[in-house]
Homo-oligomer: A and B are copies of this chain.
């Protein structure tokens, strides 16, 4: 059986749990509390030298890190990844957008706020992350203004990846009031058959 090394409040972990659930693929969840250093043990670093969850461990013991790489691996050949070469590339474009322009701002502020980590070292970083987080939401709003889903007008792993931290952006003190297209898309994703919620913080 597939094993998912994960941390319940993580949106990155949630992406993988959500896709596996939608695919009906059974998996074993191994909780790794990142606040207790459980992803920095020698045992865990053998799975992912970068010391981060989620990690997908296959039945032969090989391990795959990076949530969006795991999404692509699991989605290949399913309805969650387009067959068309250019559409597949657009899915990847949004996956890289998510990890570069969205997650480091929106997810990080949510993590610092919900885990009470806004100390003197992090405080100077908040304003930049706030500004760039809203810039990412602006890009999404413009794109979704004329579309139901991110790529090819179908629910794909691009939506799963971007849903993970957008739907809890308010926990990072992002106000989604003026993001009407984003909010309608969030409702659309949550209404997909088989949808599951993120584990609560």
Contacts and interface: CB of A to CB of B under 8 A. Distances in A.
Interface of A: 49-50, 58, 62, 64-70, 72-73, 76, 85-86, 88-90, 92-93, 95-97, 99-101, 103-104, 121, 124-125, 128, 139, 142-143
Contacts of A67: 96
A101 B50 contact: yes
A92 B68 contact: yes
Given A92-B66, A92-B68, A104-B104, A73 B86 contact: yes
A101 B7 CA distance: 19
B68 A89 contact: no
Given A86-B58, A99-B99, A92 B104 contact: no
Contact of A89 (B73, B95, B97, B101): B73
Contacts of A104: 100, 104
Contact of A69 (B73, B89, B101): B89
Contact of A49 (B68, B125, B143): B143
Given A73-B86, A104-B104, A124-B124, A49 B142 contact: yes
A99 B143 CA distance: 22
A74 to B, nearest CB: 9
Nearest to A92: B69
Contacts of A143: 49
B76 A93 contact: no
Contact of A66 (B97, B124, B125): B97
Nearest to A64: B89
Contact of A72 (B58, B89, B97): B89
A10 B114 CA distance: 36
A124 B125 CA distance: 8
